[in-house]
Amino acid sequence: MTSPSPTPVKPAPTVRSSLAHVIRGALIGIVELVPGVSGGTVALVLGIFDRLISSANHLIRGVVRFTVKRQGRSVSHHLTGVEWALVVPLVIGMFLALFTLSGPLHAFVEGQPTISSALFLGMVTASLLVPISMALEAGPVTRSTLVGGPVVVLLVAGAAFLLLGLPALQVQDPAWWVLVLSGAAAVCALALPGLSGSFILLTFGMYEPTLEAVSERDFGYLALFAGGAVLGLASIVQLLAYLLRVHRRAVLLVATGLILGSLRALWPWQENSALLAPDGDWLAPLLAALGGAAVVLLLWSRERRGNAVAASLQGPRPSKGETF
């Protein structure tokens, strides 16, 4: 009888790696403030999306085991499965960005709507390469994949394009349950690449009140919003983790379609959700879009090189089965 392969030891966190994760978290936090840009898309570009979903899934299962079934050994197993060295600095970076940059970023988006939209349009367009490449690497590419994959992408993109064309609502003095539902919807969008939590809030008229609550430190509002976010995260993460294990390519194709359809929200020239042709001053937006695309491509290529080096050093890892 052969002994099982030892579980690979996780490298100890360093100051440099922790700082890098704080910066990654700050990037995710920043883009979540911008309608039309998805934090899940940024996590894909940075190469940490799968790790985040896996860690969140372990954490949720551990909490459920502890609060419902009181199974200490299983709780320990799930909690050790969380990449705390990634999650903790990432969350710190997100909150730092949300509370320190919400005002300046909001002023930039409001003061330079065309330039800011063009910048984010270039970034999101370039990020399409990420789920496409991951879908191609998810398994053997067959003829049905080459035919059916683009069909799925275009159908999802069309649905997202139509959804994002709906006019935004206006909400005054939202009730507590509206805040809870808004938090749940926003965090679900955060977990799904291509769906922007900020745009979901904007569509339902909750973007301005939420951004104002963050800027003014309205902790009562934020507590209800965070409670809804926890509920939404607990419901969507386990489903997403399962789908990534069983239907990984399909999930990535859907993500590609969502990102493609979300480009409508970032088109620099529009009025009341109606898309317009570029006006005479189009050079500056074009340069902003190209600059945004260049930044994303640089980050993506750097992450891919880093992941390739790490994989070559660690070697193949044994697969692990999980049960709830």
pLDDT digits (tens, 9 = 90+) for 60-113: 877 777 766 555 556 676 678 888 999 999 999 988 888 887 778 777 877 888
Binning pLDDT at 50, 70 and 90, where does residue 310 land? low
Provide the pLDDT for residue 324: 34
In this predicted structure, the answer to whether residue 261 has a pLDDT above a threshold of 50 is yes
Determine the average pLDDT of the residues in 139-158: 88
In this predicted structure, the answer to whether residue 35 has a pLDDT above a threshold of 90 is no
Tally Cβ neighbours within 10 Å of residue 239.
Answer: 12
Binning pLDDT at 50, 70 and 90, where does residue 318 land? very low
In this predicted structure, the answer to whether residue 287 has a pLDDT above a threshold of 90 is yes
In this predicted structure, the answer to whether residue 169 has a pLDDT above a threshold of 70 is no
| Strand segments (E) across the chain | 270-271, 274-275
In this predicted structure, the answer to whether residue 295 has a pLDDT above a threshold of 80 is yes
**Buried-exposed string 291-321: b where 16+ CB fall within 10 A, e elsewhere:** ebbeebbebbeebeeeeeeeeeeeeeeeeee
Provide the pLDDT for residue 152: 92
Biggest CA-to-CA distance, the chain:
75
- Please state, for a pLDDT cut of 90, what percent of the chain lies above it: 10
Provide the pLDDT for residue 89: 92
Determine the average pLDDT of the residues in 262-266: 84
In this predicted structure, the answer to whether residue 242 has a pLDDT above a threshold of 70 is yes
Binning pLDDT at 50, 70 and 90, where does residue 155 land? very high
Binning pLDDT at 50, 70 and 90, where does residue 172 land? low
The count of C-alpha atoms lying within 13 angstroms of the C-alpha of 45, restricted to the half-sphere facing its C-beta, is: 29
Cβ(259)–Cβ(135) below 8 Å: no
**Alpha-carbon dihedral of residues 216, 217, 223, 227, nearest 10 degrees?**
80
- Please state, for a pLDDT cut of 70, what percent of the chain lies above it: 83
| Mean pLDDT of all residues belonging to the chain | 79
In this predicted structure, the answer to whether residue 159 has a pLDDT above a threshold of 80 is yes
Angstrom distance (rounded) from CA 161 to CA 266:
11
Provide the pLDDT for residue 3: 44
Provide the pLDDT for residue 281: 83
**Alpha-carbon dihedral of residues 269, 166, 186, 177, nearest 10 degrees?**
140
Cβ(323)–Cβ(238) below 8 Å: no
Both tokens of 291, joined, read 């600059």
Tally Cβ neighbours within 10 Å of residue 106.
Answer: 18
In this predicted structure, the answer to whether residue 158 has a pLDDT above a threshold of 90 is yes
Provide the pLDDT for residue 312: 64
Residue 199: name the closest of 234, 244, 239, 161 by CA. Answer: 161
Provide the pLDDT for residue 308: 67
User: What are the φ/ψ torsions at residue 276 (nearest 5 degrees)?
Assistant: -120, 165
Highest mean pLDDT among 47-51, 71-75, 200-204: 47-51
Determine the average pLDDT of the residues in 123-139: 86
Provide the pLDDT for residue 156: 92
